[in-house]
Amino acid sequence: MVLARVATRDWGGALDLASSFWRFDLFVHLAPRMTRDERREQLTEIWPTCDICSWRWKIVALTYLRQVGYIGDLPQPDTELLIYRGVSKTRHRLGLSWSTNIETARHFIRPLGRGRHRGGFVYSAVAFPDAFLGGFGVRDEAEYVVDPSLLTDVKQVEVVSSEL
C-alpha cells in the first residue's frame, strides 16, 4: 500500500501509513524523491506526530530543516528564548526538540525510561532567532525545533527522580 501511494506521489498518504515511531524513517527514505516544497509540506505535517523518531537521523533532519526554512504553526521567535529539554540519558541533551515550558520537558523524561532507568535530566539553553528551525503548538507542547549547535548556555537544571 505504501508503494502505491509513493507511485502516485501521495507522500502524506504514504507517511500516514507508518507508525509514529517509524514515520520519520520513512520520510528520510522518501525525501530524495520529493521537491523542496513537498519536503517542507511533509516535514510540517509529520514533525509533531513523530515520537522519538529523529535522534538517529539528527544530521539528516537538520539538513532538510535548514533547506526548507522555518516550519510549524508557532511564529519564528525574533528574540532569544530560554528553552528546556527533558532526556533520560545525558548524551541526548543536544537534541532538536525543546520547549519553552519546563513541565513539558519533565513530561518527556517519564515515558522513555524503564524500571530503575525511569528518571532523567532537564536541561536549559538560550536560543537566538537563527537557531530556530520550526515551532509547533499542537499537543500543548510549545515545541521548538532548533539547531543544537547554535544553542548557548546549555546547562543541566534538574535531575528527575525515578520515583516520579
Mean pLDDT by 10 residues, the chain (164 residues): 88 90 90 96 89 74 94 96 93 92 87 60 97 90 93 95 62
Q: Which three cell numbers mark 159?
A: 535531575
CA 6 to the chain's CA centroid: 24
Residue pair 82/100 in contact (Cβ under 8 Å)? The answer is yes
Task: Give the predicted TM-score (pTM) of the model.
Answer: 0.87
**Model pLDDT, residue 164:** 46
**Model pLDDT, residue 107:** 85
Q: Which three cell numbers mark 82?
A: 530560554
**Model pLDDT, residue 48:** 86
The whole-angstrom separation of Cα 55 and Cα 52 is: 7
Q: What number of other Cβ atoms are within 10 A of residue 162's Cβ?
A: 16
**Model pLDDT, residue 118:** 67
Q: What number of other Cβ atoms are within 10 A of residue 139's Cβ?
A: 10
The helix-helix angle for 58-68 and 36-46 (nearest 10°) equals: 120
User: Rounded to 5 degrees, what are φ and ψ at 78?
Assistant: -110, 10
The residues near 131 (Cβ < 8 Å, ≥ 6 apart) are: 146, 147, 150, 151
**Model pLDDT, residue 88:** 87
**Model pLDDT, residue 122:** 96
**Model pLDDT, residue 98:** 95
Residue/partner pairs of 78-83 with CB below 8 Å, 24 or more apart: 78/129, 79/129, 80/126, 80/127, 80/128, 80/129, 81/126, 81/127, 81/144, 82/124, 82/125, 82/126, 83/124, 83/125, 83/126, 83/127, 83/144, 83/146, 83/151
Angle at 17 between CA 54 and CA 48, to 5 degrees: 40
